[in-house]
Amino acid sequence: MSDHKAKPLRNDCFALPPGVNWTPVPEALERLRSRLHPVVGVDTAVPLHEANGRILASDVVAPRAHPPSSNSAVDGYALAGPVTDVPCALPLVDGRSAAGEPYTGNVPAGHAIRILTGAVMPAGTDTVVLEEDCEVVGQELHLQGTLKAGANRRKAGEDIQARNKILTAGTRITPTQISVLASVGVAEVDVFQRLRVGVLSTGDEVKPVGAKVTDWQIYDANRPMLSALVTQLGYELVDLGHVLDRAEEVKAALERGADQCDLILTSGGVSAGDEDHVSKTLKAHGEISNWRIAIKPGRPLALAMFNGTPVLGLPGNPVAAWVCALRFGAPAMALLAGGEWFEPQAYELPANFAKNKKPGRSEMLRARVRDGQVEVFGSEGSGRVTGLAWSDGLVELDESARQIEPGTLVRFIPYGSFGL
């Protein structure tokens, strides 16, 4: 294992040029992308069964070919060609080639041999006929119909050639990648250490689930939501708990976070109110840049460095926190974790709703697809958590969008496109 904080970020990495007011979403994304880089070290020789969800730290080259030898794709008979005149009858060689039990002899031209799926093609053979398409009469194979030379044979290396690159550094390992690695005998990989992401909630009105509450208090919805997001994206969660709107509490929590984490996600306390202590603390003790992003919901987003650790200050409203955590946080975390920055895959689909949108800002609507059309949640209120559970993704309307009518193509981004 190497040092965890491989290469720290610069303290001024989130600074905005003076005079910038509302930052358009593409510009905010580009800023983040260009200022962040991997901050985690590398775990070497991690066994494959522990590598799911981790990010490759080096390219992987195939130590052998796949398949390693020519073999049959079906159960049937392997022919030693050339066999041009069909119908015909070919003498059958004694023996067979089965998976795990290859035939070691040579099949003379014009002869056939029993073969099973996955078995190595015996020397001399080049084509396999399905057993359903032929008939064995005594020691002869009778062929009807047509015959295509090379049929039903999987060539050595047709999938992967030995010494070819099969996966690139920065790729997140999933079950499908594990299949490829295992197929060529890669038992261990170098992966980045898991990004440690701290999640902190703030607010005098906020109480943890399970606590006793009075009418003016609300349950902390953001910390469980963001914690689940961090875990599902494959990062290591550091629960920093909840703190009251008191400068010294916020500071102490950020100090704990900076000690234990590679990134801190906070929610609440980032707008301009009297009790917005996250912003104030970051200003007093760190380097903060309050990004005012031309997006609804989620316009106040605080980006800061605190004791050398980046802080993403998400807005308190749960929908805004969710949207910002996905749109800005997910690609940022991917990059910090050694993966690639990504633009989530969107699908253009007809709207089944109408909307008059203000120009000059992007809007993210909770959405889902039904019968090939995009529905949006009935309310845009960013405290309406029911819309989160209702949705399968987000519709992103860019700055220039104005009038949406039923049938207008809109960009639907499924939650899966953010890595969920």
Ligand X SMILES: Nc1nc2c(c(=O)[nH]1)N[C@H]1C(S)=C(S)[C@@H](COP(=O)(O)OP(=O)(O)OC[C@H]3O[C@@H](n4cnc5c(N)ncnc54)[C@H](O)[C@@H]3O)O[C@H]1N2
Contact residues toward ligand MOO (CB under 6 A) are 296-299, 315, 317, 320, 382
- Minimum distance from residue 334 beta carbon to ligand X (Å): 24
Q: Report in angstroms how near the CB of residue 219 gets to ligand MOO at its nearest.
A: 18
Among 38, 76, 318, 344, binds ligand X (CB under 6 A): 318
For ligand X, the closer of residues 221 and 330 by Cβ is 221
C-alpha triplet 28, 319, 206: angle, nearest 5° = 115
Tokens 């989620």 locate to 298
- CA–CA separation, 196 vs 207, rounded Å? 24
Task: Name the segment binding ligand X (CB under 6 A); options: 10-18, 154-162, 177-185, 265-273.
Answer: 265-273
Q: Which of 122, 198, 257, 315 binds ligand X (CB under 6 A)?
A: 315
Please tell me the distance from the alpha carbon of residue 198 to that of residue 415, in angstroms, as a whole number: 22
- 170 contact choice in ligand MOO, ligand X, none (CB below 5 to 8 Å, kind-dependent): none
Beta carbon nearer to ligand MOO, 54 or 299: 299
What is the DSSP code (8-state) at residue 325?
A: I
Which structure tokens are listed for 218? 């609300």
First to last CA, the chain: 28
The answer to whether residues 263 and 333 touch, using CB atoms and an 8 Å cutoff, is yes
Q: In terms of CB distance, is 194 or 296 closer to ligand MOO?
A: 296
SS3 333: helix
How far is residue 357's CA from residue 368's CA, in Å, rounded to a whole number? 19
Identify which of residues 315 and 329 has a Cβ nearer to ligand X in the complex.
315
Per CB under 6 A, which of residues 222..251 are in contact with ligand X?
A: 222-223
For 358, other C-beta atoms within 10 Å of its C-beta total: 11
Structure-block tokens of residue 386: 């029911």
Contact partner, 331, from ligand X, ligand MOO, none, Cβ < 5-8 Å per class: none
Closest separation between CB of residue 199 and ligand X, Å? 10
CB 239 within 8 A of CB 231: no
Residues contacting 310, CB < 8 A, separation 6+ = 9, 13, 14, 36, 39, 262, 263, 264, 303, 304, 336
Distance CA 155, CA 68 (A): 9
- The distance of closest approach from Cβ of residue 204 to ligand MOO in the complex, given in angstroms and rounded to an integer, is 19
Lay out the site mask for ligand X across 356-385 (x = CB under 6 A, - = otherwise): --------------------------xx--
Contact 263, 223 (CB under 8 A): no
Q: With CB cut-offs between 5 and 8 Å by kind, which of ligand MOO, ligand X, none does residue 337 bind?
A: none
Q: Which stretch binds ligand X (CB under 6 A): 68-76, 208-216, 217-225, 392-400?
A: 217-225
- The CB-of-269 to ligand X minimum distance in angstroms stands at 5
Q: At 368, which helix (H) or strand (E)?
A: strand 362-370
> Are residues 268 and 315 in contact, defined by beta-carbon separation less than 8 angstroms?
yes
- Listed ranges 52-60, 159-167, 202-210, 257-265: which one lies at the site for ligand X (CB under 6 A): 202-210
When binding is defined by CB under 6 A, the residue of 145, 148, 212, 272 that contacts ligand X is 272
The least CB distance from residue 379 to ligand X, in Å, is 15
Give me the phi and psi of 7, to 5 degrees please. -145, 105
Q: Is 221 in the site for ligand X (CB under 6 A)?
A: yes
Least CB distance from residue 218 to ligand X, whole Å?
5
Distance from C-alpha of 231 to C-alpha of 48, rounded to nearest angstrom: 20
The whole-angstrom separation of Cα 392 and Cα 281 is 36
Shortest gap between Cβ of 292 and ligand X (angstroms)?
8
Supply the minimum distance, in Å, between the C-beta of residue 258 and ligand X: 20
Look-up of token digits 């308190």: 316
Q: Which is nearer to ligand X, 205 or 392 (CB)?
A: 205
Among 71, 125, 271, 362, binds ligand X (CB under 6 A): 271
> What is the contact surface with ligand X in residues (CB under 6 A)?
201, 203, 205-206, 218, 220-223, 267-273, 276, 297, 299-300, 315-318, 320, 382-383
